[in-house]
Amino acid sequence: MPIHRVAASAFVAGIVAASAAAAQQPTVSNDFPTVARADYVYGCMKANGETQESLQRCSCSIDVIATIIDYQRYEAASTFLSLGLQTGEKGVLFRTSAQSKDAIGDLRRAQAEAEMRCF
């Protein structure tokens, strides 16, 4: 058997083994740093009343969001939202680019799902 076929077979076997191992791994929904979760809960509680019930609902909400989108996507959407608050030309890019609209849309869909499950 030529060496390139042996190498290709080994490569394919490695991919199959890696895929099987990945399928057995639980999905990671805890990649959000504690500070990011706490910041979300704090803002959520400010908007929904500072009660024990709002603490539980807001904590539930960020947990649901973390199962739907990863932290990088959450961070990108949050950044676009924050920078988009700037007036005029400074903020227009962050409000109108396809990348910002996609990231913000993903976050809004995750928030809507969290709202249905937690509130």
pLDDT at 89: 85
Per-residue pLDDT 10s for the chain (119 aa) are 454 333 333 333 343 344 344 444 444 456 899 999 999 999 999 999 999 999 999 999 999 999 999 999 999 999 999 999 998 888 888 889 999 999 999 999 999 999 999 99
Q: Is the dihedral of CA 32, 38, 40, 45 positive or negative?
A: positive
Q: How far apart are CA 19 and CA 38, in angstroms?
A: 34
**Among all chains, which residue has been given the structure tokens 């990011």?**
36
Domain boundaries, given as residue ranges, for the chain:
27-118
pTM over 0.75: no
**pLDDT value of position 3:** 44
**What is the structure's pLDDT at 25?**
43
User: In the prediction, which pLDDT does 93 show?
Assistant: 83
Q: What is the pLDDT of residue 111?
A: 98
- Calpha distance 119→106 (Å, rounded): 19
